[in-house]
Amino acid sequence: MCQFCVQHGDGKAWYLQASTYAYDLDSDLKRADYLGDFLKGFPKDRDWALTNLTRLERLPAPLRNLGRAASTAMMKKNHFGQPVPIEECEAVFDIATSIVRIPCPCRYTAGNKTDGYCLAITTEPVDALLDRGFAEYDIGPDTQKFETLTKAQAMAILRRTEQEGLMHSVWTFATPFIGAICNCGCMAMKITIEHETPIMFKGHYLAESDLDACTGCAECVERCPFDAIAIGPGHKRAVVDTERCHGCGVCRSACEYDALRLVERDGAPEGLLVVGGATA
């Protein structure tokens, strides 16, 4: 069970609790200011974070580990995430009924100004905050350019991003308030995996391969955003590294044979390969 589930979810999935979504964001000044300032300052903050994480890697291991732990602790208080499988994203949309497609700050700052990968999710419209947050971006969206979506339209976007190999994750803006579902992950994954500084929890699930159904086509290997799946050398079937798997479930969308499913992470051994319920 993740830390946020204990603190903010009464022992259940924290991102499926109505209390983690602000009812009236505009009246909650702390959270409102954080969301607006986060979007406005993201380009500069991204460059600062990546520069300092690179410097951190040059330090001796004790100082490096201390710095990483401090960074993770700070992010948990402000802006932290967790992969969520697509069926639970659908449940999130039932709670946070205001869904607005926005430009992706990660992609924009990296030089890709393609829209459509991030969704602002709240229980009330927050057009004014989004307008303020994106005001200085070159793409210059105003409230008319933010696209309000139905649940069906949002799910269609999530299915499209899965086909591109992109995971879905929920993110806090002044923890525990959840303000977005990201379908990009580029900045978060770079910091968490490449710089070994977690800014997201692993998901509540693990992917599991059905040895009998798997044909060894390796489509899931290509789609997994965490490099957690490989083709076993002996049986030529997909195997899942539970230590690397974040439980996003994106691998399933690549499999034509329904050979992959998600299982509860609790109780599964870390570091072993899960194959059809057995270990290999």
* CB atoms inside a 10 Å sphere around CB 269: 10
The answer to whether residue 13 is domain-embedded is yes
The answer to whether residue 200 is domain-embedded is no
State the number of CA atoms in the 13 A half-sphere of 269 facing the CB: 9
Domain boundary among 153, 169, 194: 194
3-state secondary structure of 89: helix
> Dihedral through CA 123, CA 126, CA 130, CA 132, nearest 10?
-150
3-state secondary structure of 25: helix
The pLDDT value recorded for residue 25 is 65
DSSP designation for 200: B
Domain boundary among 165, 194, 223: 194
Contact 99, 120 (CB under 8 A): yes
The pLDDT value recorded for residue 112 is 66
Distance in angstroms (rounded) separating the CA atoms of residues 125 and 99: 8
Name the burial class of residue 167, with classes exposed (0-12), middle (13-18) and buried (19+) by CB atoms within 10 angstroms of its CB: buried
Are residues 181 and 245 located together in one domain of the fold?
no
Are residues 42 and 145 located together in one domain of the fold?
yes
CATH number of the domain enclosing 210: 3.30.70.20
Domain boundary among 194, 224, 246: 194
The pLDDT value recorded for residue 36 is 79
pTM over 0.75: yes
Residue 50, amino acid: L
Are residues 136 and 243 located together in one domain of the fold?
no
Are residues 265 and 141 located together in one domain of the fold?
no
Are residues 140 and 218 located together in one domain of the fold?
no
Domain membership of residue 239 as a residue range: 205-279
* Three-state SS letters, 211-270: CCCCCCCCHHHHHCCCCCEEECCCCCCEEEECCCCCCCCHHHHHCCCCCEEEEECCCCCC
Helices (H), 79-143: 86-95, 105-109, 127-133
Are residues 70 and 161 located together in one domain of the fold?
yes
Distance in angstroms (rounded) separating the CA atoms of residues 138 and 115: 13
The pLDDT value recorded for residue 130 is 83
Q: What is the pLDDT along the chain (280 residues), one digit of tens a residue?
A: 577 777 766 667 889 988 888 766 666 777 777 877 888 888 888 888 889 999 999 999 999 999 999 999 999 998 999 999 999 999 999 998 899 998 888 777 766 666 567 899 988 888 888 887 777 776 544 445 688 999 999 999 999 999 888 899 999 988 888 989 998 767 888 888 888 898 888 999 999 999 889 999 999 999 998 999 999 887 789 999 988 999 999 999 999 999 999 999 887 665 544 444 444 4
Distance in angstroms (rounded) separating the CA atoms of residues 170 and 165: 17
Give the chain's domain count.
2
Are residues 164 and 42 located together in one domain of the fold?
yes
Residue 213, φ and ψ in degrees, nearest 5: -80, -25
The answer to whether residue 240 is domain-embedded is yes
The answer to whether residue 199 is domain-embedded is no
Are residues 190 and 229 located together in one domain of the fold?
no
3-state secondary structure of 87: helix
